Amino acid sequence: MPRAAGGRCAGCDWITESICTSPLGVVLNRSRNMESSTKPNRLLRIGLTIGVLAVGVVGSMLTIKFKTKAESKPSERKLPSVRVVTAKPGSHTYQIQSQGTALPRTSIQLVSEVSGRVVSVSDKFDAGQVFKKDDVLLTIDSRDYELALAQAEATVAQADLRLQMEEKEAAVVRREWQLLNQGKPSGLQAREPQLAQARAALAAAKAAKEAAQRNVERCEVRAPFDGMVAKAVVRPGQFASLAMPLGEIFSTDVAEVRLPLATGDLDFIELPAAGETVAPDQAPRVTLTSEAGGQALEWQGRVVRSEETIDPVNRMVYVVTRVDDPYRLAKRTGAALRRGTFVKATITGRTQDNIVSLARTALRGKDRVWVVQDGRLNFREVNVVYADKDTAIISEGLQSGEQVITSLLAGVIDGMGVEVQQSAPANP
């Protein structure tokens, strides 16, 4: 195998100075040449990696050295903050809420009881005008009725005269029978039928006269009570026929308000039994309120009766509240409770002892509240005897001094921790 002078052949282990020309030598020599060419690149990559790491370490050290140290606070879980009231048993007077419309106790339509032309109309007979009992509101032409009255009076006089004549003739007959000693005359002989006929004719004549007199009086339409005109539909010169509507009037002495109540509400009001009469000052008190022009108006009344029937439509029972002098015509003070005014009513009911009154927001569902015990929220079942939109009355389930939550919370769990924000006594 040939060899190169002055070097060792990798393939034949000869020492030769030239390159070995054997196949194995050629391959090994080529590999050595490649290793010789890639060695600088590998060293370069290693150097770059070390340089990058060194720069990162130096940058981190500089950042740590020069950055501002922020104060860190340990994170704590915040408990829900709740408002509570302290349960305090005491006496409570029930306030039953309702609403209704004020109407006069008496409202009637005036109709003509006679026919004729309207002669005059009083200034008081106009919508909104006030009148007194027996005031003449309008007048119908009465001349024809006055003539009829005169004729009736003449008929009465004639009938009375005929009766007197029959009575005298009957007296003469009885006297003649006595003088002749013929005993007692018979009824026919004593002219009793003629007397009866004369008496009947006189009675009929008097009745006709009374009717004629009433017709004359009916020509003047008078007010049957103290009141106010709601509507007037006739004017002077208009012909009024029999039973024709003339207008509408109502009384102003008393106004009434029908108040619907749930049947359960009646247990909290001391109403008189059916047929029982109670003095006005002993009847349940009612406060009526309304608003007009941004001003709150108030009137006081009394529950005077219950209608004692359940409405088949809404299943409610109606009680009637009475308000005296609604138009303040006697006192001349305060606002008038006008006909048709819609009012809200608060009925003062009976008083019950040893109960807890809470705000309605403290009630969860129908019969549950949340109480705070040892910093934790606990569910508590209670006995609710009465509840409206503002108040809940608790008779059992709460002890004096217990804290009842009034705040609204989401995702409530029995036994969860809470923080009390405010404590106040329960409603008195």
Same fold, 82-92+353-425 and 110-137+224-250: no
What fold characterizes domain 96-104+251-352? Elongation Factor Tu (Ef-tu); domain 3 (2.40.30)
Element (H, E) at 65: helix 23-66
What pLDDT shows up at residue 389?
Answer: 84
CATH code: domain 82-92+353-425 is 2.40.420.20
∠ CA 206-210-213, rounded to 5° = 135
The CA distance from 180 to 173, in Å, is: 11
CATH code: domain 110-137+224-250 is 2.40.50.100
What pLDDT shows up at residue 425?
Answer: 61
The CA distance from 23 to 241, in Å, is: 150
Cβ neighbours around 411 below 10 Å, total: 6
What pLDDT shows up at residue 19?
Answer: 45
- Contact, 218 vs 110, CB < 8 A? no
Sequence spans of domains, the chain: 6-64, 82-92+353-425, 96-104+251-352, 110-137+224-250, 142-218
∠ CA 343-349-353, rounded to 5° = 145
Kindly give the parts of the chain with pLDDT less than 50. Answer: 1-31, 34-35, 68-73, 75
The two three-digit tokens of residue 264, written as one number: 């359960």
* 0.85 exceeded by pTM: no
The CA distance from 273 to 265, in Å, is: 16
